[in-house]
Amino acid sequence: MSKKDKKIEIQLADAKVLVSGQSYEGYALTLGKKEIGQVAELSDNQFAVVKNGNAEIFFKSLEKAVGNIIENYNLTH
């Protein structure tokens, strides 16, 4: 039996993101009412995936940072 693909809707919203105690412009990814990740837009057009207030990994594009968060969410849930 094949399993049906379940479609999910992830929203990307502007947000203030705290990284090591400093506030940056960024984005929050939500799935329903649950926040699944944050991306901070740092200087020099770098985007950092933020977990527990710390920059975990850096990307040169927002799309790659968002893709990383979704990939990690799918692997853990």
pTM value is 0.84
Q: Is residue 28 part of a domain?
A: yes
Domain annotation covers residue 3: no
Angle value at C-alpha 18, between 17 and 24, nearest 5 degrees:
55
- Count structural domains, the chain: 1
Q: What is the DSSP letter of 63?
A: H
Could you list the residue range(s) of the whole structural domain that residue 47 is in? 12-76
- Tell me which residue has tokens 């940072």: 65
Q: Is residue 65 part of a domain?
A: yes
For residue 61, tell me if it sits in a domain: yes
Single out the residue of 3, 6, 14, 1 nearest to residue 77, CA to CA.
Answer: 6
pLDDT tens digits, one per residue of 12-63:
999 999 999 999 999 999 998 999 999 999 987 899 999 999 999 999 999 9
Residue 56 lies in a domain: yes
Tell me whether residue 4 is in a domain. no
